[in-house]
Amino acid sequence: MPNTKDIYTTGLRNAHAMENQALSILRPQVKRIEHYPEVAERIEQHIGETEKQIERLDQLLERVDGDRSALKDTALSMAGSMAAIGHTMAPDEIVKNSFANFAFENYEIAAYKSLVALAEGSGQADAVSLLQANLDEELAMAEWLDKHIQPLTMRYASLSSGGVDAKN
């Protein structure tokens, strides 16, 4: 049976794959945005944050586990690309992506809360500040998305009513 440190190590690997998946979802999205510059700007910012989050996870993984599975990461990151492609057929792509991004950020928040508990419970207390840094960025991104769901939806409605192809 895995002990707490094993569970923590697996959780770190999963978080690493999760962040690569986040990049593979956000990068194609941001390239397609035309009418929502503040969304593009915030996503660009979060892409930069996510790259730093992956570096923090790399540091933590090096402390507990030298032998990481890059293959698993790749498979998950391909699944992420598929998820991003999934909404490109939707006439309200920008709106559906805002739902998916909000859901994904909340998944990440839960993952980091779980990892903070596992780090504390397996004698890795020095890892907590790095995990908390990632968690704080996910909380801020989720809050931003939460605030923008309604104005974004209404801008999509207004542009569409004016005859604009406002999906991106």
Binding residues for Fe ion, rule: CB under 5 A, are 108, 138
Shortest distance, position 50 Cβ to Fe ion, whole Å: 6
Closer to Fe ion by CB, 73 or 108: give it.
108
Cα separation of 15 and 108, whole Å? 8
Give the nearer residue to Fe ion in terms of CB position, either 47 or 159: 47
- DSSP class of residue 35 equals S
Nearest-approach distance from CB 105 to Fe ion, in angstroms: 5
Residues 99, 116 contacting (CB under 8 angstroms): no
Q: How far is the CB of 166 from Fe ion (least distance, A)?
A: 25
Residue carrying the six token digits 């993984």: 61
Identity of the residue, 106 or 122, whose beta carbon is nearer to Fe ion in the bound complex: 106
- What's the full length of the chain, in residues? 168
